[in-house]
Structures are given as structure tokens and as C-alpha cells.
A and B are shown apart, each in its own frame.
Chain A
Amino acid sequence: MQATSTPGQAEAPPPVKSRTFKRAFADVREAWDHRELWGHLGWQDIKQRYRRSVIGPLWITISMGTTALALGLLYSVLFETNVPTFLPYVTVGFIVWNFILGCITEGTDVFIANEGLIKHLPAPISVHVMRMVWRQVLFLAHNLVVYAVVLAIFFTALDDPYTITKGGIEHPGLSWTIVFAIPGFALLAVNAVWVALLFGVISTRFRDIPPVVTSFINLVFFMTPIVWDAGVLQRVTGGDGNDWRMLIAELNPVYHFVEIVRAPLLGHAVDWHHWVVVGGFTVVGWFAALVILRNYRARVSYWV
């Protein structure tokens, strides 16, 4: 590097590199320190969406309630299942799915949508991601009202051991294991951040990604056991774990993420292999996100 002799130039350039894991970690850490900012903005996003409407954010709850009711009734008729256990199943699955859906679709758009802020204010780019995930968490909190109502109505059915599909796994019913929903959701949210970081940066560079994601995400919804029960697979395969049809659910990462939150909330049997899979995704995903963040963090403001 040539030594330019501009007057007042004190020292030689430091050997600091912009593309280091240290800087990538610093970006995430600083964003976390800005939580007052994204916390406030996330709330603002919700309030803003329902400004001037009479019942405001209650609309989030109402729309979730009606969808869960309709889907739950429809599919319990189609699959000939028991409404008091199937309706809560669909409701919780749909609430968790909505969170995942929001994080993925808005995650691809997170930097593109915040172009103005990125170009005008020096802030860690992860701030925008955390604001988005926080907003989704708040949406989910609104939807939990529906869960509470459903739980109150069908408590007696869920309290005792039950099966959702005939011949499926027998679930022990609601118990203290419900507390597993908290670490389960925390893990889900932690994963949401890396998904949005990874997809967000790539989508900012390649604008085909957001439409690709939106068109395939519906497919993922139908492939995931949300309106249908994985116990169906159990029945058709006769409980043979090596049958290829079991893989329909097992190979779908979304299934494991849904399951770690849904199972405790409904008193389903806790299956540790879901936790292992999710743990693996957390490690691999965050590593990928940090690599992307290391290499392209500084490029985002050029690309938006």
C-alpha cells in the first residue's frame, strides 16, 4: 500500500480487515444493544397497521380465530377426526406456521424495504432483521389469545390421553411439559433471525429470490403437517419407521420447527429428535448467516 503524504495524515493504515467474523459478530451484538430502537419500531409497525381502525390489532386475533375455526372444522370432517382434539391442533399449528411464514417472506424483503434507513443512518444491518422478527413475535402474541380461547373450550378433551388420527401416536395430554413451548419458541425466534439475515442479504443482491420464495412457500405449507397430522403417515406405513413415506414429514425442516412449539402446547408426546434436528439447523444456519454477514454485510448498503 502506498504511503500517501497528505498533510495531517497521522499514521499508516491499520491492518484491519472489513471482512472478518469479528465484524460480523459485532454487527449482531450491536444490533442487540439497539433493542430499544427496534423494540419501539416493531410496536410502531403494529400500531401503524391498525391506526384509525376501530378495534385495531384485535383484527390480527380475529382473522386468526376465523381461519383456525374454519380450517379446523373442515379438515376434521375430511379426515374424520375428533373436533375437540383436532381443532386445537390446527389452531396451534397455524399460529406457529404464521410466524414462520412472516419471518421468511418478510425476511427476504427486510433490507429492500428499509432502503431509506440503510442509506441514511449508520446502524448494524441486523437491526432491521430484529425489528422484523420482533414484529412477528408481537403478531404471534396477539394470536396466542386464540390459543387461550381454544384451550379453555377444549381443555377436557386435551387433558386426558388422546390420539389425533386413529392408529396414530397416543399423546399423553396436557401436563407440565407445556413449559417446553417457551424454549421451543425461543429457539424458533433465534432461527428466524438467521433465516432473515441469510435470505435478506441474498435477496438484496438477487431480486428473483423474493418472488421465488413467495411462490413456493404455499407448497411448503401443504407439505408440512399443519392441517394434517403426521400420525396419518404412521397409519399408512403401519408404524414402519423405514418406510419412505415417513420421510415426507421428516425431511421437511419446517415440520421439526413447528413441532417443538406445538407439541408441548397441546400435550403431545415430547419427541427429542425434533429438538436435535432444530439444534442442528440452528448451528449450521447461524454459521451460514455469519459467513454471509462477514462477506457481504458492507455490500448491503451498495445493493439496496
Chain B
Amino acid sequence: MVSIDVWNASVDFPIFDAKSRSLKKLAFGKVGGKIESEGRVPIIEALHDITLSLKDGDRVGLVGHNGAGKSTLLRLLAGIYEPTRGQSRIVGKVAPVFDLGVGMDPEISGYENIMIRGLFLGMSRKQMETRVDDIAHFTELGDYLQMPLRTYSTGMRVRLALGVVTSINPEILLLDEGIGAVDAAFMAKARDRLKDLVARSGLLVFANHSDEFLAEFCDKAIWMDEGHVKMFGSLREVLTAYKGYDPFERMHPHEETPVLSGNGGE
């Protein structure tokens, strides 16, 4: 049973400038008393008093303006940041997909990168070996997989990263925006795989700006604003409040939104 619970959690970043990061300042700062407010480390409060409860089967979209705290929230949910105040509890194996480039090494071949990326996502070497052919087939990279990654175009790298991510079996899947640098034909294919993946994973949190994407994968949504959860509810409610109109009315009539009506369990 997977779940993520967060109670009154805040994430504060200390911003050390070059000076206050040094021992000298700490040592002399104590001796000489407080040097006005500059003596203290300035803090950025990226998330403030977040309380959330996500359960098995939840497919949650994450919306908000740039800098609203979406990525930080995803990292909090992934367990990368433990809350500075408040508490969090994450039950289940987390597969975060925040940056398609991290964990990729430009100097080694595509195959080796598939292996490393898989290991990072919690797969064993054996598990990855059984998946490599499937990934190679999906990415359509063919002989290019023998080439070092630095010879790849951006789109090819995205293909590779998506191929790995969509082949694993995560319990909690956290997707940040940024998937979209590939051509339309491949995107259609990737969409199917992503859908598959979402169906397999127990819990999904997906930050995205595209209404269609959100409608396809999510049934709930969180609206982040200035580090607060401004709204948490059904996708349609939240999107309507966030955008100021009901985005589902404008979608093509043939595009049904079955995910919405279901409970997200399928």
C-alpha cells in the first residue's frame, strides 16, 4: 500500500553567500556579537505549511506559476528534501523523473546509459538486462545505442530517457515538466507508454502546463502558489479556479476524459 503523507511541512533554504559559508565568519561572528541582520544566514521559504495526504490510486496534477514551488514540492514528496519543520512519511518505492539529463553520462554509450539510469531508478542489473531490448526497440535508436551519448541530439536523449523511465515499475511516480522536446510522432508513442506506466504505478504526481496532458493522466490536482497549497481537489475544479475558465469545455468534443470519471484506480 503506497502513500505519501505530509503534515505542516515547510522547506526553508539557507542561502549562504561566500562569506557566511566560511568558518571564519562563524568563529568571529560569535565573538563579536551580532553584526546586524547580515550576520545571520538569509533563508528562502520555498514551501510553507504543506499538509497533504496522497493514497494508492491517486493521480495528481500539479499546477502553478513559475517559482510557485512545484519542483520543490515534488522533491519533498520524493524524500529528497526532508521538511525543515513539520513531518512527512513516504511509503513505497519512488521513481522521480525531474531532469531527463541527470544521471546520464555523455561519454559512454546509449546502452550503458540505459543501465546506469535504471540502476539509479532502483532496478537491479538483471532486471535492466531483460528490459534493454524493449527500450532499444521503443527508442528506435538502433545502432546509435552503441555510440557515446554526446553524439545524440536533444530529441534522441529525451527518447532514451523516456524509454528507460517508462520501462520500469515504480510504485510512486513523480514527473516534473520538461518532457516534450521530441517530435509529435514519437510523443504519441511515448504517451501510450506513459499511460501504461501511470496505470502500473500506484501513485502519480505530475507537474505540467498542458491541460490535455493533465486531463489524460490525472484526476486530482494541486494548485501551488507562493509555496502554499492554494487548492487541492478534483482536476476540473482546480484547473477552473487556476485558469479562470473551465478548460474541459474547450477541448475537442471527441476527446473524452475517461480518467476524470473513473476513480483513478484503472
A contact residues vs B (CB 8 Å cutoff): 1-2, 4, 6-14, 16, 18, 36-37, 40-41, 44, 47-48, 51, 116-123, 205-209, 298, 301-303
Contacts and interface: CB of A to CB of B under 8 A. Distances in A.
B245 interface: no
Interface of B: 5, 7-8, 13-14, 16, 18, 21-24, 26, 51-53, 55, 75, 78-82, 84, 86-87, 89, 94, 96, 98-99, 102-103, 105, 107-108, 112, 115-116, 119-121, 124-125, 232
A44 B109 CA distance: 12
B82 A298 contact: yes
Nearest to A118: B80
Given A12-B7, A208-B23, 7 more contacts: A9-B51, A36-B119, A117-B103, A120-B102, A122-B79, A205-B21, A208-B21
Nearest to B78: A122
A9 B98 CA distance: 27
Most central of A51, A121, A298 by chain B CB within 10 Å: A121
A128 to B, nearest CB: 12
Nearest to A9: B53
A120 B51 contact: no
| Shortest beta-carbon contacts, A-B, top 4 | A298-B82, A13-B7, A120-B102, A122-B79
Nearest to B9: A13
B80 A119 contact: yes
Contacts of B94: 122
Chain B interface, >50% SS class: mixed
16 contacts: A1-B7, A1-B8, A4-B7, A8-B55, A9-B51, A11-B5, A13-B86, A16-B89, A36-B125, A40-B115, A48-B108, A51-B107, A120-B96, A121-B121, A207-B21, A301-B81
A18 B85 CA distance: 11
B112 A121 contact: no
Contacts of B79: 122
Contacts, number: 102
B47 to A, nearest CB: 12
A40 B124 CA distance: 11
A52 to B, nearest CB: 8
A2 to B, nearest CB: 7
Given A206-B21, A206-B23, A4 B51 contact: yes
A18 B124 CA distance: 28
A13 B86 CA distance: 9
B80 A122 contact: yes
B116 A121 contact: no
A18 B90 CA distance: 13
Nearest to A120: B102
B205 to A, nearest CB: 14
A119 B71 CA distance: 11
Nearest to A206: B23
Contacts of A1: 7-8
A121 B80 contact: yes
Given A13-B7, A206-B21, A120 B82 contact: no
A88 to B, nearest CB: 37
B103 A302 contact: no
Nearest to A15: B87
A208 B94 CA distance: 35
A145 to B, nearest CB: 25
B51 A119 contact: no
B13 to A, nearest CB: 6
B176 to A, nearest CB: 9
Contacts of B121: 121
Contacts of A120: 80, 96, 98-99, 102-103
